[in-house]
Amino acid sequence: MVEFSEPVQKDSFILGLDVSTFCTGFSIWNLEKDKLEKAGFIPLKKLNSWHEKVDAVCSVLEEIKENTNKVTYIAIEDILQKFIVGKSSIKTIITLAGFNYVIQRKCYEIYNITPVLFNVLRSRNLADCSVPRGVKSKDFILRRVCELHPEVKNQLPLMKTKNEFAKEAWDVSDAIVVGRAAAATLLPDRPKEIVKETPVPEEDLIDF
């Protein structure tokens, strides 16, 4: 359970981040209006070094701070919960965990806010995005986010050669989920306007 030393300001914003060295997704949640304000991604796969990747993320974090100026809470998806036993190499774990930690530190330096890490499964539950058993999680989360926030669908990146969402869209949707989860912990008494829907059949997940 997340604890706070003082009441959270409602005229403020949550910055949600899904951090990876391939692409970092972000979302901005308006606490006063209790709504998603903006979402996007920071492409990093073409950058060669950690320094370049960190600089690219920091540049966007600075831009968000300049344009929003009321970010009072930062939620980051806990990268360690994503690793699959037996399928994630030690090198991958060290690289992603290290990069995640560096971005956490940069968030603190830029915003003077200590980020809060959110467990993947708990985030999905809090965000009304729990994945049914036997369903591909990435595709389900992407579709569910589009159901909850239809305006996002037209902003998600598409593949260059196919009329399908690019992989970066997964990072955007994960960032939205962690932002929604943080909002649920900060505004626990808000009206329950979202009703859980019947799980989407797996064969329907890819076709948006």
Of the candidates 119, 29, 105, the residue with the CA atom closest to the CA atom of residue 72: 29
Instruction: Give the ranges where 78-167 is alpha helix by DSSP (H).
Output: 90-111, 120-126, 137-148, 150-153
pLDDT in tens, 33-60: 999 999 999 999 999 898 999 999 999 9
CB atoms under 10 Å from CB of 98, counted, come to 13
Across all residues in the chain, what is the average pLDDT?
Answer: 83
- Rounded to an integer, the average pLDDT of 49-77 is 93
pTM: 0.83
Q: Which of 31-64 are b and which e, b meaning 16 or more Cβ less than 10 Å from the residue's Cβ?
A: beeeebeebbbbebeeeeeeeebbebbbeebeeb
Of the candidates 76, 98, 103, 102, the residue with the CA atom closest to the CA atom of residue 171: 76
What are residue 94's phi and psi, to 5 degrees? -65, -45
Judged against a pLDDT cut of 80, whether residue 120 lies above it is answered with: yes
Rounded Cα–Cα distance for residues 74 and 93 (Å): 23
- Angle between the 90-111 and 50-68 helix axes, to the nearest 10 degrees? 30
CA distances from 199 to 12, 125, 179, 192 (A): 33, 14, 22, 19
Q: Is 99 exposed, middle or buried (0-12, 13-18, 19+ CB in 10 A)?
A: buried
pLDDT in tens, 143-184: 999 999 998 988 888 887 777 889 999 999 999 999 999 999
